[in-house]
């Protein structure tokens, strides 16, 4: 989890905010970033995690991550919880679509 957090931190700008959200989930806020660029950032993070060899108790371990991307919408996101819920729905679409992928919210 710490190594994944390091990958995320190294993949975002100083103005971006990356925080742990729940057990094994993270939220990354990318201010003034269009959806296409946010997807590119998410894909870069996904690719770095997939290609990294992690060490756990003297064993090499590979893992992957699933990501959901949502862009703030004045028509849909009347609260921050609504935005997070849309991103979470995109995340679950990634998980149920085969994992190790990036999906976007409607």
3-state secondary structure of 7: helix
Residues 40/102, Cβ–Cβ less than 8 Å: no
Annotated catalytic residue: which of 24, 32, 60, 75?
24
- Pick the closest to residue 51 from 16, 103, 87, 3 (CA basis): 3
Whether 60 is catalytic is no
Residues 28/41, Cβ–Cβ less than 8 Å: yes
Q: Which residues are catalytically annotated?
A: 24
């Amino acid at each position: 989890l710490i190594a994944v957090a390091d990958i995320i931190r190294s993949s975002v700008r100083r103005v971006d905010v990356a925080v742990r959200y729940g057990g094994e989930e993270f939220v990354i806020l990318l201010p003034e970033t269009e959806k296409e660029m946010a997807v590119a950032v998410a894909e870069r993070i996904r690719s770095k995690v997939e290609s990294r060899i992690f060490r756990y108790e003297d064993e090499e371990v590979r893992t992957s991550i699933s990501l959901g991307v949502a862009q703030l919408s004045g028509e849909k996101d009347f609260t921050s919880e609504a935005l997070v819920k849309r991103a979470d729905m995109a995340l679950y679409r990634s998980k149920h679509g085969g994992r190790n992928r990036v999906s976007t919210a409607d």
